[in-house]
Amino acid sequence: MKLAMVGFGQAGGKVVDKFLEYDKKHNSGIVRAAIAVNTAKADLMGLEHVPEEKRVLIGQSRVKGHGVGADNELGAEVAEEDIDEIQGAIDSVPVHEVDAFLIVAGLGGGTGSGGSPVLAKHLQRIYTEPVYGLGVLPGSDEGGIYTLNAARSFQTFVREVDNLLVFDNDAWRKTGESVQGGYDEINEEIVTRFGVLFGAGEIGQGGEVAESVVDSSEIINTLAGGGVSTIGYASETVETSSSNGGLLSRITGGDDDDDLDSAHTTNRITSLVRKAALGRLTLPCEIEGTERALLVLAGPPRHLNRKGIERGRKWIEEQTGSMEVRGGDYPITDSGRVASVVLLSGVTNVPRIKELQQVAIEAQDNIDDIRNESQDNLDDLINDDEDELESLF
């Protein structure tokens, strides 16, 4: 699936930068275009892979390249005022070659949290391609203003996009460690999960044709209908071998050894599907009640089979109660792993979202206290930021 990605704010920019790195490394061809938008000049300068001409600094007249300091109302205003500058960068994207837009942002800050819904609304008005969001929720130790921003942004973002894929930093920080310490690992996790999902169906030249192909339309159909999505992932190392059975032998079957292999392969797949769906999801939730799901099995073709995928698919149907579960494979010949990705779309029973909604309601009452507390933090942040900028120029 070919995407035009827009990283909005610091977290969004870093994740899109990482997607580009992943794309180069795996030759997966999912990032057809990448743009980074920010109010902080230093954040844009810190990116490694997004081309310089695709880095858009907005709000210069308001915040002079220093960021909006977790003020997401200001983030939204600035995005509206400078939407033409963002559109200017999007104008150079061959939109007819992309399957969808993906706007990536941390929902706890100011720029991405406020600006992403504004951009989503704008893109929906101009283009016919679906517009998805990848929203990162803050760690619960980050403070009231981050939670409040996330609560508000989430509500607006989910309304403006065709589907909001969510990653919860809070569920991914290591015990006893603040989330700030571990962004590299977390971003790796995000990119691996979404990379396998979006990479399915994008088989490069000379690649294997999948036995039951997952293509862009299956991903789009699973995400259609809106709401919130989460992703489960599990993988296992497998022995690599040059004696690759290939498509024909997988269809025609083989001798007894092959039957044994095939049973083993089927069992491995079904166990990986369970691990993915029942293990840590990008947004932890009850999987029962999920509206639609997609199962992707990625890895060397000889370690994938239709029977395993079919069993895995049926098992997900039983667990979720959904009648709309798709499944297929994503052959990667030279991979040393078999990975299972489960996309659960339209999830409803999500404790973290209920908590955020509660926060948004309570916050209406004590917004001034939170803002005052955050103003002190903001003053410190701006001082740090200025020191950082001075050292860069």
Ligand X SMILES: Nc1nc2c(ncn2[C@@H]2O[C@H](COP(=O)(O)OP(=O)(O)OP(=O)(O)O)[C@@H](O)[C@H]2O)c(=O)[nH]1
Residue ranges of the binding site = 10-14, 110-112, 142, 169, 187
With CA atoms as reference, report the closest residue to 4 among 22, 23, 30.
Answer: 30
By CB under 6 A, residue 301 contacts ligand X: no
Return the residues of window 166-185 that contact ligand X according to CB under 6 A.
Answer: 169, 179, 183
Number of neighbours of residue 381 by Cβ within 10 angstroms? 15
Q: Which of 139, 299, 308, 327 binds ligand X (CB under 6 A)?
A: 139
Number of neighbours of residue 256 by Cβ within 10 angstroms? 7
Residue ranges of the binding site for GTP = 10-14, 110-112, 142, 169, 187
The C-alpha atoms of residue 12 and residue 25 are separated, in whole angstroms, by 20
Question: Strand 100-106 vs strand 228-237: parallel, antiparallel, or unpaired?
Answer: unpaired
The C-alpha atoms of residue 297 and residue 235 are separated, in whole angstroms, by 9
Counting residues that bind ligand X (by CB under 6 A) gives: 27
Nearer to ligand X, 50 or 316 (CB): 50
Burial level of 387, CB count in 10 A (0-12/13-18/19+)?
Answer: exposed
By CB under 6 A, residue 10 contacts ligand X: yes
Q: Which of 36, 65, 108, 276 binds ligand X (CB under 6 A)?
A: 108
By CB under 6 A, residue 135 contacts ligand X: no
By CB under 6 A, residue 138 contacts ligand X: yes
Q: Which stretch binds ligand X (CB under 6 A): 47-55, 95-103, 111-119, 283-291?
A: 111-119
Return the residues of window 15-54 that contact ligand X according to CB under 6 A.
Answer: 39-40
Number of neighbours of residue 385 by Cβ within 10 angstroms? 18
Nearer to ligand X, 12 or 312 (CB): 12
Longest dimension (CA), the chain: 73
By CB under 6 A, residue 287 contacts ligand X: no
Query: For the chain, how many helices (H) and strands (E)?
Result: 14, 10
Nearer to ligand X, 148 or 293 (CB): 148
Q: For binding to ligand X (CB under 6 A), which residues are involved?
A: 9-11, 14, 39-40, 67-70, 106, 108-113, 136, 138-139, 142, 146, 169, 179, 183, 186-187
